[in-house]
Amino acid sequence: MISDFHLHTSFSWDSDTEPERQIEQAIQLGMETLCITDHLDMDFPGGEFQLDTPAYVERILQLREKYRGRIDLRLGVELGMQRHLGERIAAYAQAYPFDYVIGSMHLLKGQDPYDREIFAGCRDGEVYREYFEATLENLRVCRGIQSLGHLDYVVRYGKNQGKEYSYGAFADIIDEILKLLVERQIALEINTGGLKYGLGYPNPHPDVLRRYRELGGELVIVGSDAHVPQYVGYRFGEAEELLKASGFAYRAEFCQKKPVWIKIK
């Protein structure tokens, strides 16, 4: 089974799941590799999504040894990107022995789309465009990441979700994001959380994935965004079929921040 490279544990503010439960679930599913990527959003309004990084790193490295021979456990982190955090993110990513760093957009104008307040008084499409423009700005300044997480995360929480969203409607700005990923050899994450949230497709939209391939993109990595065990590896069979249909022969995993190429069966 495809290895899960995006999931959370009780080290994240929004999960109560002990790391061992996620690991045991991955083993049950037949995964050979697993990467835990708990949240750190520096300067998050209200102070949520902070991470006790020394304790986190120590625990995951201990569990790596505990489960050696049963599963290859990798150390990851999901960092919330903001324009003013470029230097801090780069320094943080280098300060710890991470195998894999996800750069994600959780805030627009200081608000998390998850709370839906940012959509008040606006058309969904207006917020989506601002979100993609901010994503491009943040990617330009945030170094040290290996992938862009859930590119169209914002669509999960729109008042009408996908009714005002398509690749074509935002092709100008999405293309700029994808070109930058290709230029900097940053992976595009296929996040099956979009299926869980009722979009009918992973994040990003399949048309975005196909366009990434057309632009020369090769680095793709799969994650569930699971916060509880039952969502580890969520609908990864569909993700694999989507990758094949989009022209990908390989997917990536990361070890010591270097891509490991895995042939798609």
Q: Is 50 helix (H, G, I), strand (E, B) or coil?
A: coil
What is the pLDDT of the chain when averaged over all its residues? Answer: 96
pLDDT at residue 71, rounded to an integer = 98
Q: Residue 107 forms beta bridges with which residues?
A: none
Q: Is the pLDDT of residue 77 over 90?
A: yes
Q: What is the mean pLDDT of residues 192-214?
A: 94
pLDDT at residue 47, rounded to an integer = 86
Q: Which residue shows structure tokens 């049950």? A: 28
Q: What is the mean pLDDT of residues 221-244?
A: 97
Q: Is the pLDDT of residue 57 over 90?
A: yes
- Amino acid letter, residue 125: G
**Which band of pLDDT confidence, cut at 50, 70 and 90, is reported for residue 265?**
confident
DSSP-derived secondary structure for 150-213: -TTGGGGGSTTGGGG--TGGGHHHHHHHHHHHHHHTPEEEEETHHHHTTSSS-BS-HHHHHHHH
Q: Is the pLDDT of residue 226 over 90?
A: yes
Q: Which residue shows structure tokens 């230029």? A: 183
**Which band of pLDDT confidence, cut at 50, 70 and 90, is reported for residue 162?**
confident
The structure's pTM equals 0.96
Work out the end-to-end distance of the chain between its first and last CA atoms, rounded to an integer number of angstroms.
10
